Structure 1
Amino acid sequence: MAGFIIGMIVTAFAAWFIIKNYQPQTVLLLAGLSLLLMTAIFFPQRSILYGKAVSIGWVGGDIFAFVKESLTTQVAGVGLIIMAAGGFADYMDHIKASNAMVNLCIKPLQMIKAPYVILSIGYILSQLLHVAISSAAGLAMLLLVTFFPVLVRLGVSKAAAASMIGMSAFMDLGPAVGTANLAAKHANMEAAVYFAHYQLPVAVGVMLTVAILIFFTARYFDAKEGFAAGGQEPEHPADGPVERVPGFYALLPVFPVVLVLVFSPLIVSSIKVDVVTAMIIGALLAFFCELLVKRDVKTACRGVQVFFKGMGNMFASIVSLLVCADVFAQGLQIIGAVDFIIHTVQTAGYGFASMTVVMALLVCVTAALTGSGVAAFFSFSGLAPGIAAKFGENAVRMILPMQLMAGMGRAISPVAGVIIAVSKAGECSPFMIVRRTFIPAIGGMLAMLICNGLLN
Structure 2
Amino acid sequence: MSVVAFLLCILVTTVTAIYLYRKLNPQGVLMLAGLVMLTFALILNVQPIIPDKSTGSVVFDLVKVVEETFIGNLSRAGLMIMTIGGYVAFMNHIKATNALVHISMKPLGFFRRYPYLAATVTIPIGQLLFITTPSAAGLGLLLVASVYPVLIGLGVSRLTALSVIAAATLFDQGPGSANTALAAELIDQTNVAYFITHQLPLVIPTTLVVMTLFYFNNRYFDKKEASRQSTENSETAEVPQTSAKPDIPLIFALLPILPLALLIVFSPYVGLFQPPITLNTTTAMLFSLFVSLVFVG
Q: Say whether the fold is shared (TM-score over 0.5).
A: yes
Match of 1:147 in 2: 154
Match of 1:408 in 2: none
Match of 2:50 in 1: 49
Report the TM-score when normalising by structure 1.
Answer: 0.42
SS at match of 2:55: coil
Match of 1:105 in 2: 104
Matches within 5 A, 1:152-301: 162=157, 165=161, 168-169=164-165, 171-172=167-168, 184-188=177-181, 209=208, 237-238=239-240, 244-265=247-268, 266-270=271-275, 271-291=277-297
Contact 2:149 2:241 (C-alpha < 8 Å) held by counterparts = no
SS at match of 1:77: helix
SS at match of 1:69: helix
Give 1:59 shift.
Answer: 1.0
Give 1:91 shift.
Answer: 2.5
Distance 2:80 2:112 in 1: 41
Cα shift readout 1:283-329 (whole Å, capped 9, x = no counterpart): 111122222xxxxxxxxxxxxxxxxxxxxxxxxxxxxxxxxxxxxxx
Query: Kindly, what percent of the aligned residue pairs are identical?
Result: 23
Q: Which amino acid aligns with 1:115?
A: R
Contact 1:78 1:185 (C-alpha < 8 Å) held by counterparts = no
**Measured at CA, do residues 249 and 48 of structure 1 come closer, stay the same or move farther in structure 2, by a change above 3 Å?**
same
Matches within 5 A, 1:36-115: 36-38=38-40, 40=42, 42-43=43-44, 47-49=48-50, 53-110=52-109, 112=110, 115=113
Distance 1:105 1:284 in 2: 24
Give 1:78 shift.
Answer: 4.2
Matches within 5 A, 1:282-361: 282-291=288-297
SS at match of 2:108: helix
Contact 1:84 1:276 (C-alpha < 8 Å) held by counterparts = yes
Give 1:100 shift.
Answer: 2.0
Distance 1:139 1:10 in 2: 37
**Measured at CA, do residues 187 and 71 of structure 1 come closer, stay the same or move farther in structure 2, by a change above 3 Å?**
farther
Distance 1:79 1:17 in 2: 26
Distance 2:206 2:248 in 1: 31
Distance 1:19 1:236 in 2: 26
Matches within 5 A, 1:7-18: 7-18=9-20
Q: Which amino acid aligns with 2:278?
A: K
Distance 2:126 2:87 in 1: 15
Give the gaps of 5 or more residues in structure 2: 130-138, 183-190, 221-236
**Measured at CA, do residues 83 and 269 of structure 1 come closer, stay the same or move farther in structure 2, by a change above 3 Å?**
farther
Match of 2:141 in 1: 134
Match of 1:348 in 2: none
**Measured at CA, do residues 286 and 207 of structure 1 come closer, stay the same or move farther in structure 2, by a change above 3 Å?**
farther
**Measured at CA, do residues 240 and 209 of structure 1 come closer, stay the same or move farther in structure 2, by a change above 3 Å?**
closer
Cα shift readout 1:222-252 (whole Å, capped 9, x = no counterpart): xxxxxxxxxxxxx982599976432111101
Number of equivalent positions: 247
Contact 1:98 1:250 (C-alpha < 8 Å) held by counterparts = yes
Contact 1:172 1:180 (C-alpha < 8 Å) held by counterparts = no
SS at match of 1:30: helix
Cα shift readout 1:401-425 (whole Å, capped 9, x = no counterpart): xxxxxxxxxxxxxxxxxxxxxxxxx
Cα-Cα RMSD: 4.8
SS at match of 1:268: coil
Distance 1:208 1:37 in 2: 36
Give 1:279 shift.
Answer: 0.6
Give 1:67 shift.
Answer: 0.9
Contact 2:145 2:257 (C-alpha < 8 Å) held by counterparts = no
Contact 1:145 1:236 (C-alpha < 8 Å) held by counterparts = no
SS at match of 1:134: helix
Match of 2:27 in 1: 25
Taking CA–CA contacts closer than 8 Å with sequence separation of 6 or more, which of the two structures ends up with the larger relative contact order? 1
Give 1:66 shift.
Answer: 0.6
Distance 2:112 2:56 in 1: 70
SS at match of 2:273: coil
**Measured at CA, do residues 142 and 69 of structure 1 come closer, stay the same or move farther in structure 2, by a change above 3 Å?**
same
Match of 1:313 in 2: none
Give 1:254 shift.
Answer: 1.6
**Measured at CA, do residues 113 and 5 of structure 1 come closer, stay the same or move farther in structure 2, by a change above 3 Å?**
closer
Contact 2:41 2:49 (C-alpha < 8 Å) held by counterparts = yes
SS at match of 1:257: helix
Give 1:58 shift.
Answer: 1.5
Q: Which amino acid aligns with 2:251?
A: F
